[in-house]
Amino acid sequence: MHDISEGGIRSAVSLLGAALLVGLTASCSSPAPAREYAVPGDVCGTDVARSVLEPLLPAGQKISAEASSAVGVERCRISVDGEIVFSSAVEKHDANTTANDVASSAHGVDPADASANGGHVVYSKTGAVGLVECPASTSADSSLWATVRTSHEVKASAMRAFVEGYAAAVAESDACRDLTAR
């Protein structure tokens, strides 16, 4: 017969408990959610690089976009699996409007958040505003601003990259002419 000491039993029980804990943790954990949809190359018709849109979109199976407009505003809402996760707008404002003015009424961003591009961009982990630098041939008594927000936090640097790219794309579209003419 073998004599098992009390310390040996404790060690065996501790090892068994640790092995059980590792096994339970491994069986309960699931792989990180995956993105099963293709990231679009536009936001409701405005071309954007997939590389700047992708970091703002969550994992999921199905993506859809819905455009809407009102006087002086063009909006786009992107849904993943039926939930709105991203919203952008291009808004007409007075010519002397600042990024802080726009940020004070925009969702997901605040005038006290980080700023860039000579004060023409304000951004956070959930939203951003950026000046659309329209060609000189458009109305001098108004300005256009791109706004964006997400339903979830992302890297603030990704939000900044998106709003700067989106504002540049809007400037190259018909939005400057169409929205400032209204």
> What pairs with residue 79 in β-bridges?
64, 84
Chain segment 59-76, per-residue pLDDT in tens: 999 999 999 998 889 999
- Could you report how far apart the first and last alpha carbons of the chain are, in Å? 96
Q: Are residues 176 and 124 in the same domain?
A: yes
Tally of domains in the chain: 2
Q: Report pLDDT for 33.
A: 80
Q: Is residue 79 part of a domain?
A: yes
In this prediction, residue 16 has a pLDDT band, given cuts at 50, 70 and 90, of very low
Q: What is the DSSP string of 43-99?
A: ETTEE--HHHHGGGS--BS-EEEEEEEETTEEEEEEEETTEEEEEEEEEEEETT--H
Q: Is residue 124 part of a domain?
A: yes
Q: Are residues 145 and 58 in the same domain?
A: yes
Average pLDDT over every residue of 109-127: 95
- Rounded CA-CA distance 165/147 in Å is 12
Q: Are residues 118 and 59 in the same domain?
A: yes
Range of the domain at 8: 1-30
Nearest CA to 169 among 34, 9, 47?
47
In this prediction, residue 26 has a pLDDT band, given cuts at 50, 70 and 90, of very low
Asked if pLDDT for residue 8 goes beyond 70, the answer is no
Q: Are residues 70 and 153 in the same domain?
A: yes
3-state secondary structure of 43: strand
Q: Are residues 147 and 101 in the same domain?
A: yes
Q: Are residues 142 and 92 in the same domain?
A: yes
